[in-house]
Structure 1
Amino acid sequence: MKISIVIPAHNEAETIAQCLASVKIAIEQLPSTFTASILVVLDSCTDDTLRIVQAAGVNYLCCYYQCVGQVRDIGIRHAIAHGANWLACTDADSTVPIDWLVQQMEHLNQQRTDMICGVVSVDNWDHLSSQTQQAYIAHYQDKMGHSHIHGANLSFSSDAYLATGGFAHMTCHEDVDLVNRFKEKHYAITWSNRVRVMTSSRLQARAKEGFGNFLGNLEKETHNIDFR
């Protein structure tokens, strides 16, 4: 099996080195029967992201879409055209654990699956209130069979991706849209908390309605909630 890890990036100079280092370590854990490579898709970057990616020695594409769905799609299709039959998505502000890819392959060995929706852990709560942390923990289903969708932790087969039309060219919620189309076509989806990533808790996220926006709204809401 040939695996490609596709990472969109827009001005991620502060975080992408750690992201790439963690993915490289996860790749090293795979058995020799698997091959894996990283592809970063740099979208309208004006900082040092490109220089850092070049220094890391990974493959990259440059584009100017300012649209995360289109950026993910061009990266996935490029990887498929170069032989990838399993695609793993994460984000440039996230890091993956050592067994991130191994756990995905174990799921594939255990049962037929066309997509794996993983979970995320928040990297830092220090700038958020304890009420927000409690509300998040109460909301989040960190278990097998959860119902969360994260572009930072989504993987799937190339055949199913092409059959569903791939990521829509949307500026947000492209991950939810793709999962819904997998459901509509009755592809097998594994909802796993064994496959997880550590993601940024920054509130100034690149996607306007992404995870950072969710945390920011939760922070605002919890100011009006008494947790005593």
Structure 2
Amino acid sequence: MIGVCIPAHNEERHIQDCLRAVTRAARHRRLGREAVKIVVVLDHCMDRTAPFAAAWPVDCVAIQARNVGMARAAGAQHLLRAGARWLAFTDADSRVSPAWLADQLSLDAEVVCGTVSVTGWEAHGALAQRAQRAFVRHYQDCDGHRHVHGANLGVAAQAYRRIGGFAALACSEDQALVDRLEQGGARIAWSCLPRVTTSARPHSRVEGGFASALRKGRDEGAAGPGVQPERDADGRAPSRHCL
């Protein structure tokens, strides 16, 4: 069984688009008949995220941690107890491609670190073009990149258990996990094959995460993750060249 974990804190604007994309990926023909279980970890949600998520064929786990590391860990534990052999992670403000899960598994690795596309630059107002240009200039959307995104991450259950799972970090929990996996000798695919589109919102629930990096790149006109070229119908980039 394949497990998908989605942490969410007050994501009523995005959660339905996220779950629509994930449930479509769970039905991809290349997965055969393997079951896919999806869990949304509702972390101190005070809006309509919970009822919106409950309308989909997913498990909902409620916690009151206000901590994304703890939310991912809770979702992973729920999936491991259900028998998951593979744990895929994305974010509630993100949309995975139709082949996302199939592409992760096709790489024959213990860990898959994918890249992201960014959408919604208008959230940066008058600085939107500056933000987008800065990220296009510095992001590497190619095999062999070294980006880590909780929105596009896959880990074999055995490898996840081996290093003890996510730490209770308010941000950078994904980087910390991959660092420990790499130090432990896990086979990591740094790949641009699995596709995820994520939000360009300049402010998120905590400082120091992806939104902070976007804002820093905008304000400094310098480094940070970036936007990708147009995709084909299956969500793939037309080229594997670095931006």
Letter in 1 for 2:36: A
CA deviation map 1:138-188 (0-9, x unaligned): 110000010000011110011110110100000010001000001111110
Write out aligned runs for 1:27-176 (5 A).
Answer: 27-30=26-29, 31-108=31-108, 113-128=109-124, 129-176=128-175
Offset at residue 127 of structure 1 (A): 3.6
Paired position in structure 1 for 2:180: 181
- Normalising by structure 1, we get a TM-score of 0.92
Letter in 2 for 1:195: P
Contact between 1:168 and 1:177, CA under 8 Å: does it hold in 2?
yes
- Normalising by structure 2, we get a TM-score of 0.87
Offset at residue 94 of structure 1 (A): 0.3
Percent of aligned positions that are identical: 39
Report the Cα distance in structure 2 between the residues aligned to 1:130 and 1:18, rounded to whole angstroms.
Answer: 25
Offset at residue 220 of structure 1 (A): 1.1
Contact between 2:4 and 2:37, CA under 8 Å: does it hold in 1?
yes
Contact between 2:159 and 2:186, CA under 8 Å: does it hold in 1?
yes
Letter in 1 for 2:216: N
Q: 55-64 vs 146-155, which deviates more?
A: 55-64
Contact between 1:68 and 1:207, CA under 8 Å: does it hold in 2?
no
Does 2:200 match 1:204? no
Q: 41-50 vs 96-105, which deviates more?
A: 96-105
Structure number having the greater strand percentage: 1
Letter in 1 for 2:206: A
Report the Cα distance in structure 2 between the residues aligned to 1:47 and 1:131, rounded to whole angstroms.
Answer: 32
Letter in 1 for 2:112: I
Unpaired segments of 5 or more residues in structure 2? 223-243
Offset at residue 123 of structure 1 (A): 1.2
Unpaired segments of 5 or more residues in structure 1? 224-228
Contact between 2:131 and 2:215, CA under 8 Å: does it hold in 1?
no
Letter in 2 for 1:97: S
Offset at residue 133 of structure 1 (A): 1.3
Contact between 2:202 and 2:214, CA under 8 Å: does it hold in 1?
yes
Offset at residue 126 of structure 1 (A): 2.6
CA deviation map 1:59-94 (0-9, x unaligned): 110000011001100110110011001000000000
Aligned pair count? 218
Letter in 2 for 1:7: I
Q: 169-178 vs 117-126, which deviates more?
A: 117-126
